[in-house]
Structure 1
Amino acid sequence: MADDRFSMGLFDARIKDQRHQVFKVLGMYFVLMTVAIWGLLSLFWGSTYQLESYFPSVKVYVYDFDSVATPNAVLGPAVVRYLQSTLSSPVHLGIIVRDPAGKTFDDVASEIVGEKAWGAVVINANATSNFEAAMAGTGGLLDGQWAPKGAISLVVAGARWYQVVLEYLLPYLGMYVETPVLEASHQASASFLSTATPATLGELTSAQQAALGTPFAYQEVDLRPILPGQWAGAAPLEAGLIYYIIFAFHIALFFFFSRLPLQGMTKKHGIKIRWIHVCLLRIVPVLFAYFILSLAYTLINKAFLLPTDGNGYASFGPQAGFMVLWMLDWIALASLGLAMEAMLTLLTLKFFPLFLITWILSNITSSFFPATLAPKIFRYGYMMPFWHCTTATKHIMWGTRNRLGLNFGVLLGWCGVSLVTICLFELMWRRIEERKERQESAKDVEGQGAHK
């Protein structure tokens, strides 16, 4: 015999209104998600759209020390002319020829580490003179060998933004200098051969023959490299931060459901917890949770042997660096999580997941690629938690530009804004509930009066 309790179908006339309500809600969410896909994913896609058209914003300094040191320099003028000619190409780097007077290589290195430019092409002072000395047999050799790569240095700071430096900047610079280096090499070799006698050529040493075959070449100088075994550091700079937001999302949900029994009890007894105590209940437990979880997150970095002393370039050692990284991770998680706590209060559980998507995508557009290679609208990323977390982490791990004061300041600013809005949103909902209660009480009084 069939159980009548399970006899109702989905299209039963008795649940017509409820069925319409279900499809109405599903339709509303379908529209919202479609808008979110077009709006939010377009934001992320747009941050890398036509990436190469923004290469002129990638400044590269050119220093010709060769022409200063040698009156009839061959290499320096050739490289400078060719690099300047690239500016007429549709896609080119932002080549800027700088006056080398009074400059040293250390000055150039400071400019690159200080992010005045993304890289530098340095034609060294002894480029042409070394070749001439080597062919004359009066010097120009390194440990008795010809070392042509000392002629030009392509100077970068790889850890600044390795996606840009290693995947785009260095390949482009290598392509740029290859042609003028080859032309200058042919010119230098031809100049020597035009005056050399057969006897002179027969007496060339192996070092001189090597110099004649390759007068000039270039080398890559990475001032802030990511050393072998340190590539796990890419995780906390990319996907790790997305996971961080997801952790904060789950913490917000966990604490939300953990408060429900308390809220049910107070409602049942017709009492209310003081507003300030509600705010404390919302804030103190999550800050403690962030403190513990950020320690676990930081320890993962140490477990995979990531440096915390800037590879020797930071002003602190590994022990102090670990504490700095832990505090950074704590404040970063708080800046991400407290914003979610605030929006959970404002949007309620029904629309809260939409903020999660928005929060993730608006942050990752500022950390996957620099705003330098995107339309100006994406410079909003300079105020986002992800950007400040990644730039601070790069300094702690690899010694890139030190912005720790700014990074901590902005992250704490996000925390402060979220703390204030949590309290204000709680106060707003309390006022709304009180207004509803007064309206219901007024209706009850009116109803009792009419009954009498």
Structure 2
Amino acid sequence: MFEPGRQRPVVDNGYWRRIQKHFLLAIGTGFLLLQILFLANLTYLYGTIFKATSRVHNFNVLFVDYDDSGVIGQSVLAAYETLKAPSFPTLIHHPVSQYPGTEQAYDAVCRGDYWATVYTHQGASERLAAAVTNETVAETYSQSPALSYVWNGARYSAFAEGYIMANLQKLIAASRVAYGHINGTGIVQSATDLSKAATVNVLMDPLPATEINIKPTTQGTRIFYNTVSMEMPILQQFFFLMALNGISSDFHLFHKLSPVANSTLRTAVSTSYTLIASLCTTGYIWYFRDGWSVTPTHFTLTWMVLWLYMAINFNIMDIATAYIDAKLMPFFMLTWLVVNAASSLAPLELCPRFFRWGYALPTHETYQLLIQIWSGDGCMDRASRALPILFAWWVVGTALAVMSVYRRCAHAVAAERSLAGEGEAGGRVGRAPGGVVGGGGKGEEQDRSPRSQSQSMVLRTVAGPEAVALHGYKTQESIRLQRRAYGPSYPTPFVRGEGL
């Protein structure tokens, strides 16, 4: 319903026919570009773990035989030969001289040199032989393992469970079968009394094994650590930057304050925001840890790493929005999210070699530091590689972010000058021959306003089509410059800065 006295909108029945071709071409172009964007990015993301099972052999597992090449060690090697395939981790046999004790074998996994270690215990073959001939030894045989395997549950826990722990258990089971083929007949013949339950138990499980998990990470939320928890900080910084730009626009900061003052202000605000945002992110990880054995020191270190990560992404968002046209920002934003997600989604050993460039991305190195922190005891030390990469991103990003502020200020000043020039042009037109607009007084002040309705009337009635075109061009140019200065942005609720 229209209010009485209000002019009804004029319906141009021929308008759709005039724009139909151009509209359909424009919407078709947008349709096509977005399809290509999502196709390219999702192809990249899916490609990271496409046929990942065929690259499981890139996971290296150390094997050390402390049983002096006894039958148990032979059984493990024989079992591996039957399981050896691209979908099975590579078992690398090293002599005892390189790893003199089980502590050294453990440290090889702790350092991250290997994804796991399997080793036999010294004298295991002799204990097994004694157990089948001596009931007393048989009763306690299972308490002393013949084999042990070490792995780290904090290192890409979902993949470690599926490809490391599961395959190690498969190797142990196959070793029992291989032992039966190698020495089954002899050990049964040497058994003194097969009616004894303890002896039968030894024959049923001749190779008891123990699992050593450096950092058990079994909580359900662990699947978010290298996925959603790595992507949300990027979105947080983008949304906060939009809010900051909107508030800056409300208060006209880029043309009211100097570039130095704006840079200092934005640095202080972004530092404070990323500090609190990283604390909140760490907080919800800890709140839902579900019995995960982590300490206050782990909490603080996680907080600091996420703070650096968020500061890097704020700089990247600030630079991108200053230099990339708003039309292209969705393309950049989605691509940045996807390539970073892909870099931490799975161990790069499972990815095709092309994706190894992900080592240079901040998300991958941030997650490597988090694995190091959560593993504890100095395990998985990747700080010598990750910290230089992250600080390089931060230093370069900070410098370019300061430059982007200068660019924003220049656009804001140019926009104001464009508006001022438009206002002066309106004033000159108002004093054109014929005296359409009276001189002096309040009316003239209104006519000099670039947004006044009377100026548009003067331009239409006095100056002709050329002035109208110039007026429209200047208005569009000032709007474009304002968007480049303060965009992208959104109006923050409950914030009013107009008229200041």
Match of 2:8 in 1: 5
Match of 2:165 in 1: 170
Alignment of 1:37-436 (within 5 A): 37-68=38-69, 73-84=70-81, 86-87=83-84, 89-101=85-97, 103-137=100-134, 140=137, 144-147=139-142, 150-185=145-180, 187-195=182-190, 200-201=192-193, 205-226=196-217, 230-263=219-252, 266=255, 273-305=257-289, 311=293, 318-399=295-376, 400-404=379-383, 406-428=385-407
Answer with 1 or 2: which has the greater Rg: 2
Task: Map Cα deviations across residues 378-405 of structure 1 (whole Å, 9 max, x no partner).
Answer: 1122222222222222333342413346
**C-alpha distance in structure 2 between counterparts of 1:260 and 1:61, whole Å:** 60
Given that 2:149 and 2:168 are in contact with CA atoms closer than 8 Å, whether structure 1 keeps it comes out as: yes
Given that 1:189 and 1:213 are in contact with CA atoms closer than 8 Å, whether structure 2 keeps it comes out as: no
**C-alpha distance in structure 2 between counterparts of 1:140 and 1:128, whole Å:** 13
Residue 116 of structure 1: how far off its partner (Å): 0.8
* Equivalent AA in structure 2 for residue 300 of structure 1: Y
> CA 1:178 to 1:390, structure 2 compared with 1: closer, same or farther past 3 Å?
same
Residue 140 of structure 1: how far off its partner (Å): 4.5
Task: Map Cα deviations across residues 336-364 of structure 1 (whole Å, 9 max, x no partner).
Answer: 22211110111143332322211110111
> CA 1:409 to 1:195, structure 2 compared with 1: closer, same or farther past 3 Å?
closer
Match of 1:31 in 2: 32
* Equivalent AA in structure 2 for residue 323 of structure 1: T
Judge which range, 217-226 or 101-110, deviates more. 217-226
**C-alpha distance in structure 2 between counterparts of 1:373 and 1:304, whole Å:** 28
* Equivalent AA in structure 2 for residue 201 of structure 1: D
**C-alpha distance in structure 2 between counterparts of 1:320 and 1:34, whole Å:** 46
* Equivalent AA in structure 1 for residue 229 of structure 2: G
**C-alpha distance in structure 1 between counterparts of 2:86 and 2:109, whole Å:** 25
**C-alpha distance in structure 1 between counterparts of 2:252 and 2:25, whole Å:** 30
**C-alpha distance in structure 2 between counterparts of 1:360 and 1:323, whole Å:** 26
Q: What RMSD over aligned residues (CA atoms) do the two structures have, in Å? A: 3.4
> CA 1:300 to 1:430, structure 2 compared with 1: closer, same or farther past 3 Å?
closer
Given that 2:254 and 2:409 are in contact with CA atoms closer than 8 Å, whether structure 1 keeps it comes out as: no
Task: Map Cα deviations across residues 268-293 of structure 1 (whole Å, 9 max, x no partner).
Answer: xxxx6423223234332122111122
**C-alpha distance in structure 1 between counterparts of 2:127 and 2:87, whole Å:** 34
> CA 1:302 to 1:173, structure 2 compared with 1: closer, same or farther past 3 Å?
closer
> CA 1:434 to 1:385, structure 2 compared with 1: closer, same or farther past 3 Å?
same
Residue 246 of structure 1: how far off its partner (Å): 1.6
**C-alpha distance in structure 1 between counterparts of 2:298 and 2:188, whole Å:** 58
**C-alpha distance in structure 2 between counterparts of 1:236 and 1:201, whole Å:** 54
* SS at structure 2 position matched to 1:326: helix
**C-alpha distance in structure 2 between counterparts of 1:321 and 1:158, whole Å:** 16
Q: How many equivalent residue pairs?
A: 417
> CA 1:14 to 1:120, structure 2 compared with 1: closer, same or farther past 3 Å?
closer
**C-alpha distance in structure 1 between counterparts of 2:7 and 2:330, whole Å:** 38
Q: State the TM-score, normalizing by the size of structure 2.
A: 0.73
* SS at structure 1 position matched to 2:212: strand
Match of 1:269 in 2: none
> CA 1:14 to 1:232, structure 2 compared with 1: closer, same or farther past 3 Å?
closer
* Equivalent AA in structure 2 for residue 350 of structure 1: K
- Give the % identical residues: 18
> CA 1:257 to 1:238, structure 2 compared with 1: closer, same or farther past 3 Å?
same
Given that 2:115 and 2:151 are in contact with CA atoms closer than 8 Å, whether structure 1 keeps it comes out as: yes
**C-alpha distance in structure 2 between counterparts of 1:264 and 1:222, whole Å:** 55
> CA 1:155 to 1:131, structure 2 compared with 1: closer, same or farther past 3 Å?
same
**C-alpha distance in structure 2 between counterparts of 1:107 and 1:374, whole Å:** 29
* Equivalent AA in structure 2 for residue 35 of structure 1: I
**C-alpha distance in structure 2 between counterparts of 1:6 and 1:405, whole Å:** 68
> CA 1:389 to 1:231, structure 2 compared with 1: closer, same or farther past 3 Å?
farther
**C-alpha distance in structure 1 between counterparts of 2:375 and 2:18, whole Å:** 64
Runs of at least 5 residues in structure 1 that lack an aligned partner in the other structure = 267-271, 313-317
Residue 223 of structure 1: how far off its partner (Å): 2.0
